[in-house]
Amino acid sequence: MRIAVIGTGYVGLVSGACFSEFGTSVVCVDKDASKIERINRGEMPIYEPGLDDLVARNVKEGRLEFSTDLAASVKGVDAVFIAVGTPSRRGDGHADLSYVFAAAEEIAKALDGYAAIVTKSTVPVGTGRKVAEVVMKARPDLELGRDFDVVSNPEFLREGSAIEDFMRPDRVVVGTLDGATRGREVMRALYRPLALIEKPVLFTALETAEVIKYAANCFLATKITFINEMANLCEQVGADVQDVAKGIGLDNRIGNKFLHAGPGYGGSCFPKDCLALVKTARDAGAPIRIVESVIEVNEGRKVDMARRIVDALGGDAKGKRVGLLGLTFKPNTDDMRDSPSLAIVPALLEAGASIRAYDPEGMHEAQKLLSGIEYAADAYDALKDADVLVFCTEWNQFRSLDWTRVRQAMPGRIIVDLRNIYDPTRVAREGFTYHSIGRKAAIPA
Ligand code: UDX
């Protein structure tokens, strides 16, 4: 089998590398020559644990290559995956599909034999059909089902565990147009290694696969938002949201995953996908009001986190120093997209606080987005002279701080933990007043 993957962003690079690991011959294509050069030198454009080794091994074994030449790369392939960006369009929030359609047109012009054209980028419902139209317009000589098929194969990769998610997914979803027998066979063959480990490949209609992707992400965003609002209630009535999550999560129908209360979801998928689904649903005359509420609640929540920090400082942050640990939207990534810190930091600055921050991988990205704060060399350095320590992202290295060093670094004795990474009584015993999410504040004896 041979495939081309168009776009070496997060999804394209991880999918391409993983398919090559499955034994398929893969060429990853990107217009950006400097990016391809860097990847060829072994420098990954994204931070993803294990990706550099995976790429290096498969390049060495001759199964994985990188190119800027789309036309040459799609010659003789069984499938072309479109994994280009689909940013939210400014103004109306719709996903911007211009890169997807441009890629489809270029692929069509270069096709010299049958290929399945697969959308891997997260695209609004109906995009697959439009891709088929673009292809037929560019190449009226091609016949759908004979010379090409259009397939939707959404990704469910989590940043930080994307390789594991690709290699051992809960399921693979493949949507095709009626009669796309060859397209299905190509996809079945590409994912054959998963059959060996009994991972299901679900074949559906094209539009169904497109809906599944949005339904999955919006459901998860809803689940998180649900527990976040439960956390607010717990704080008011003296309950513990972690136990509530356990208590409901043990019900198999609910499940214990994605019930960790925090500062609100962020990242490249949930915020964008929720917005896109809401737009699609409104346009289709079937508004999904629950997701509309989720978006509103989540946005408000991020800003409200700054208010909590100010409250912990006694209601006035003027002249106060905040030591902020974690800037990325979650651990094991350098991704700052829609990170709660992007709302929290400006609100704290506005309230008159000064901030010294540290993140294990996100500093470079953060510096592009957050100005007016100091960036520290490590966690303890971030706490220098701080009145309050704030945990914003639950990086492992923040889970076992040396309390003696913390006490030496910061004169303040207040901690606001937006990720619930510590046991409240334990932290109080170390002499700190500890505020967390959905649990009672713990005060030193
Ligand atoms: C998500 C989906 O999980 C993945 O399937 C999809 O393809 C892309 O979007 P990702 O954005 O990488 O992946 O991160 P994920 O681990 O899902 O976390 C998303 C956000 O939710 C983060 O901000 C995280 O901190 C937050 N979250 C997650 C919670 O607040 N509580 C939880 O219990 C789980």
Query: Which pLDDT tens digit goes with each residue over 223-245?
Result: 999 999 999 999 999 999 999 99
Give one DSSP letter per residue of 205-272, joined into a string.
EHHHHHHHHHHHHHHHHHHHHHHHHHHHHHHHHT--HHHHHHHHHTSTTT-STT----S---SSSHHH
In a domain, 86, yes or no: yes
The verdict on 190 and 315 lying in the same domain is: no
In a domain, 269, yes or no: yes
Phi, psi of 262 (to 5 degrees): -165, -155
The verdict on 41 and 177 lying in the same domain is: yes
Last residue of a domain, one of 144, 168, 199: 199
Q: Provide the phi-psi class of 90: left if phi over 0, else alpha when psi is between -120 and 50, else beta.
A: beta
pLDDT the model gives residue 426: 96
> Can you tell me the ipTM of this complex?
0.96
Q: Please give the residue range of the domain that contains residue 330.
A: 239-445
The answer to whether residue 269 is catalytic is: yes
Structure tokens given for 278: 């809401």
The verdict on 284 and 358 lying in the same domain is: yes
CB 234 within 8 Å of CB 441: no
CB 149 within 8 Å of CB 142: no
Question: What are the pLDDT digits (tens) for 81-91?
Answer: 999 988 877 77
The verdict on 255 and 183 lying in the same domain is: no
pLDDT the model gives residue 88: 73
Mean residue pLDDT across the chain: 96
pLDDT the model gives residue 204: 97
Q: Separation of 16 CA from ligand 1 center, angstroms?
A: 22
Residues belonging to the binding site for NAD(+) are: 30, 35, 86, 122, 159, 272, 337
| Cα–Cα distance for residue pair 187/4, rounded to 1 Å | 13
CATH number, domain containing residue 103? 3.40.50.720
Question: What are the pLDDT digits (tens) for 15-68?
Answer: 999 999 999 999 999 999 999 999 999 999 998 999 999 999 999 999 999 999
Residue 413: half-sphere exposure toward Cβ, Cα within 13 Å: 12
Q: Is 157 in the pocket of ligand 1 (CB under 6 A)?
A: yes
Instruction: Please report, to the nearest 10 degrees, the dihedral formed by the alpha carbons of residues 21, 22, 24, 28 taken in order.
Output: -40
Residue 4 has pLDDT above 70, yes or no: yes
State the average pLDDT over residues 179-190: 95
Q: Separation of 156 CA from ligand 1 center, angstroms?
A: 10
**Which of 270, 305, 392, 398 to mutate to test ligand 1, by most ligand atoms within 8 A of the CB atom?**
270
CB 259 within 8 Å of CB 248: yes
| Cα–Cα distance for residue pair 420/436, rounded to 1 Å | 6
Residue 93 has pLDDT above 70, yes or no: no
Q: Is 224 in the pocket of ligand 1 (CB under 6 A)?
A: yes
Question: What are the pLDDT digits (tens) for 304-357?
Answer: 999 999 999 999 999 999 999 999 999 999 999 999 999 999 999 999 999 999
In a domain, 9, yes or no: yes
Query: Which amino acid residue places its CA nearest to atom 6 of ligand 1?
Result: 156
pLDDT the model gives residue 301: 98
Residue 94: pLDDT band with limits 50, 70, 90? confident
| Cα–Cα distance for residue pair 96/213, rounded to 1 Å | 17
In a domain, 51, yes or no: yes
- Supply the pTM of this predicted model: 0.94
Query: Which amino acid residue places its CA nearest to atom 22 of ligand 1?
Result: 265
**Which of 155, 222, 328, 330 to mutate to test ligand 1, by most ligand atoms within 8 A of the CB atom?**
330
In a domain, 291, yes or no: yes
In a domain, 205, yes or no: no
